[in-house]
Amino acid sequence: MTEWKKRDLLDLQHLEKEEIELILETAKSFRQVSARDVKKVPALRGKTVALLFYEPSTRTRVSFELAAKRLSADVINIASNSSSSSKGESILDTALNLEAMNVDLIVVRHPSSGVPDVLSRHLKAAVINAGDGCREHPTQALLDIFTVKEKLGKIAGLNVTIVGDILHSRVARSNIWGFKKLGANVTVCGPATLMPRCVKDLGVEVSYDLESSMKKSDCLIVLRLQKERQQDSFLPSLREYAKLFGVSQSKLDKASQDLLIMHPGPTNRGVEIGADVADGCQSVILEQVTNGVAIRMAVLYLLLGTKGVN
Binding site for a second copy (CB under 8 A): 34-40, 45-48, 50, 58-59, 62-63, 65-66, 69-70, 74, 76, 78, 80, 89-90, 93-94, 96-103, 265-267, 269, 286-287, 289-290, 292-293, 308
Comparison of 68 and 184: residue with beta carbon closer to a second copy: 68
Q: Name 93's Cβ contacts closer than 8 Å, sequence gap at least 6.
A: none
Furthest C-alpha separation in the chain: 57
Comparison of 116 and 305: residue with beta carbon closer to a second copy: 305
Comparison of 45 and 200: residue with beta carbon closer to a second copy: 45
Least gap, CB of 52 to a second copy (angstroms): 10
Comparison of 81 and 233: residue with beta carbon closer to a second copy: 81
Least gap, CB of 244 to a second copy (angstroms): 23
Per-residue H/E/C for the chain: CCCCCCCCECCCCCCCHHHHHHHHHHHHHHHHHHHCCCCCCCCCCCCEEEEEECCCCCHHHHHHHHHHHHCCCEEEEEECCCCCCCHHHHHHHHHHHHHHCCCCEEEEEECCCCHHHHHHHHCCCEEEEEEECCCECHHHHHHHHHHHHHHHCCCCCCEEEEECCCCCCHHHHHHHHHHHHCCCEEEEECCHHHCCCCHHHHCCEEECCHHHHHHCCCEEEECCCCCHHHHCCCCCCHHHHHHHHCECHHHHHHCCCCCEEECCCCCCECCCECHHHHCCCCECHHHHHHHHHHHHHHHHHHHHCCCCCC
Comparison of 175 and 267: residue with beta carbon closer to a second copy: 267
- Rounded to whole angstroms, the Cα distance separating 36 from 34 reads 5
Choose among 183, 87, 73, 84: nearest CA to 125.
73
Least gap, CB of 290 to a second copy (angstroms): 5
- Edge-to-edge strand order for the sheet containing 185-189? 205-207, 185-189, 159-163, 219-222, 260-262
Least gap, CB of 81 to a second copy (angstroms): 11
Least gap, CB of 57 to a second copy (angstroms): 11
Comparison of 56 and 183: residue with beta carbon closer to a second copy: 56
Comparison of 43 and 128: residue with beta carbon closer to a second copy: 43
Least gap, CB of 256 to a second copy (angstroms): 25
Least gap, CB of 207 to a second copy (angstroms): 29
Least gap, CB of 109 to a second copy (angstroms): 16
Comparison of 45 and 243: residue with beta carbon closer to a second copy: 45
